[in-house]
Copies of this chain bind each other. A is one copy, B any other.
Amino acid sequence: MGTGPGAVEHLSDRARDALASAQVIVGYTTYINLIKDLIGDREVISTGMTKEKERCQQAVEAAASGRRVAVVSSGDPGVYGMAGLVLEIMESSGLLGKLPVEVVPGITSATASAAKLGAPLMHDFAVISLSDLLTPWETIEARLEAAARSDFVVVLYNPASKKRTRQIEKAREILLLHRQPQTPVGIVKNTAREKESVIITTLDCMTEHSIDMLSTVIVGNSSTRRAGDFIITPRGYRI
């Protein structure tokens, strides 16, 4: 289940019900802390950031033992989240179709960040993760190139981390081959959390700003323009 961005402000009723009815709650420690008031004294399985496979395995084991389990993702669990991993582990354990399972959607960073920036996603967009831990960098580059050339608005997830800083520079270079330097870019960090920051800049200057693993970067298409404190990608209506 997804809790949306931030803490509980964007939680849906369906997600709140799923959380309320769970006997065991599983998640990355940081996310669990964001919703701890809703968990109370129930059993929690929480682990650090790179332990997602272990977490999902423990969740499936708990469910197989007859308990009702909620695996919590920030944002939407189906967008680079835990939904696929849970289903894959259930499949490999022969539990798919035997244990009931539901994916509860949440508001994902792409649209939560877009809302903070105005309306950059009013036209076709491509969502690309710049993390090359599980994906060959050549594949990511080819997608950046294709999205840039065919004028998609581009949403970058996992744009950078402390160790991973080269990818966002390279993404900018690829996008600049097909798009004007003045193309509006939005950088939203810590959406709906403390220390939220919203920056509107340009493709040319985007990497002068701090971009980290809690940031989502949205690069406009050829019609995206700045309007006051917002970015707008026109849908095409005559105003």
Contacts and interface: CB of A to CB of B under 8 A. Distances in A.
Counting contact residues on chain A (CB < 8 A from B), the size range is 35 or more
A232 interface: yes
Contact of A152 (B9, B85, B107, B126): B126
B135 A236 contact: yes
Interface in A94-135: 96-97, 102-108, 111-112, 114-116, 118-129, 134-135
A151 interface: yes
A88 B239 contact: yes
Interface in A79-102: 79-81, 83-85, 87-89, 91-92, 96-97, 102
A159 interface: no
A10 B12 contact: yes
Given A83-B119, A236-B134, A239-B89, A105 B96 contact: no
Interface string A206-239: 0000000000000000000001111011111101
Nearest to A148: B146
Contact of A84 (B89, B151, B232): B232
B126 A147 contact: yes
Contacts of A108: 108, 111
Contacts of A129: 123-124
Contact of A146 (B10, B146, B228): B146
Interface stretch (A20-28, A137-145, A165-173): A137-145
A84 B119 contact: yes
B14 A13 contact: no
A229 B126 contact: no
A36 to B, nearest CB: 17
A128 B234 CA distance: 15
B10 A4 contact: no
B115 A78 contact: yes
Nearest to A82: B119
Given A124-B143, A147-B150, 5 more contacts: A79-B111, A96-B230, A105-B107, A124-B127, A124-B128
5 contacts: A52-B237, A83-B118, A104-B115, A143-B152, A146-B147
